[in-house]
């Protein structure tokens, strides 16, 4: 038992030495780590948004065949709206999303240039 206690004390001593050597207290280290994590998340979201924008710009999304995951990449659309679009298929023209009350005119205007309907 004393071996286990001495081993634990040795680990605590090593940890304390490492913290002391860095010149930072643990709270400062936690705060820096938290800030770095927030920055990485923000940057990752920006990259993902850029990829979605580039993909959508070059290739309009066919609302008759798009998956739920593809639809939620469109600006302003979440899972609820994607499910409504899928449930209302097939569409003859993109504007059917408004005329059939799937999306409001304002919601449709955000994605009008990014979608198409192929028959």
Domain span at 98: 61-116
CATH code assigned at 89: 1.10.150.320
User: pLDDT digit string (tens) for 70-95?
Assistant: 999 999 999 999 999 999 999 999 99
- The partner residues of 61 in beta bridges, in order of sequence, read 115
How far is Cα 37 from Cα 32, in angstroms, rounded to an integer? Answer: 9
- The partner residues of 48 in beta bridges, in order of sequence, read none
The whole-chain average pLDDT of the chain stands at 83
Q: Quick check: 22 and 29 in contact, CB under 8 A?
A: yes
> What is the number of structural domains in the chain?
1
For residue 29, is it within any domain? no
CA dihedral over 81, 87, 90, 95, signed as positive or negative: negative
DSSP code for 89: -
The residue with tokens 């304002």 is 106
């Amino acid at each position: 038992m004393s071996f286990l206690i001495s081993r634990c004390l040795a680990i605590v001593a090593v940890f304390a030495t490492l913290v002391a050597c860095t010149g930072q207290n643990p709270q400062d280290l936690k705060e820096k780590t938290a800030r770095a994590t927030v920055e990485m998340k923000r940057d990752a979201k920006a990259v993902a948004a850029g990829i979605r924008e580039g993909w959508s710009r070059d290739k309009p999304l066919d609302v008759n065949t798009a998956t739920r995951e593809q639809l939620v990449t469109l600006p302003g659309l979440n899972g609820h709206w994607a499910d409504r679009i899928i449930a209302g298929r097939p569409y003859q023209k993109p504007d059917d999303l408004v005329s059939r009350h799937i999306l409001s005119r304002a919601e449709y205007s955000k994605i009008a240039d990014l979608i198409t309907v192929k028959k």
